[in-house]
Homo-oligomer: A and B are copies of this chain.
């Protein structure tokens, strides 16, 4: 009698997983790496929570959800926890990502250091403008018409959408048709896509700045 099929069934996990939870997992992982760098091999939920800015109960609940277990009285073994997380985030090998749109933002992402550090590699870029295409350079820039063949040949599942707002929906459709399953979208618009088959993470810079404009103005009204 449930309205929609439970994500739990699809994922093999007990319960559905929401984005916040996955994001916290990513934050725990970053914190654990720092603790490990400091020489720790075990960590308690209260310390880890403090590092990330959540309660110890939240940490234990999240870990429990992903079947990450610790030792009563002994805390969590950092190496073991990180190994489980690496599996969840597919960190064993480089995460291959394609970039569509080699404009301002796109080119900046090609050179962004933060991705390399996390074993994320932009393996190819695509643009509709032939003038921007080139097979030289560390990462080839190919015509969008070659997207599907490339994605299928290389088994890429994740793409970055960094094209102007006007063409974003059309290019997203092409990415989905090519077999991309996860899209990081920089176009400041509401995209339509099949939510049961594709995940889209919107990075809306205008929206963030408008939020800040609101927030700082709210602060100004303080007595």
Contact = CB atoms under 8 A, between A and B. Distances in A.
Contact of A104 (B25, B108, B201, B205): B108
Interface of A: 7, 10-12, 17, 19, 22-23, 25-27, 30-31, 51-53, 88-90, 95, 97, 104-105, 107-109, 111-115, 118, 120, 157-158, 164-165, 181-184, 188-190, 197, 199, 201, 203, 205-219, 221-223
Contacts of A188: 30, 114
Given A212-B158, A212-B199, A104 B112 contact: yes
B190 A158 contact: no
A211 to B, nearest CB: 5
A218 B11 CA distance: 5
A104 B206 CA distance: 19
9 contacts: A27-B190, A51-B190, A90-B213, A95-B213, A105-B108, A112-B205, A158-B212, A182-B215, A184-B208
Copies in the complex: 2
Given A212-B201, A218-B17, A114 B26 contact: no
Given A203-B203, A216-B157, A210 B112 contact: no
A113 B168 CA distance: 14
A158 B213 contact: yes
A214 B164 contact: no
Contacts of A19: 211
Contacts of A107: 108
Contacts of A7: 218
Contact of A219 (B22, B181, B214): B181
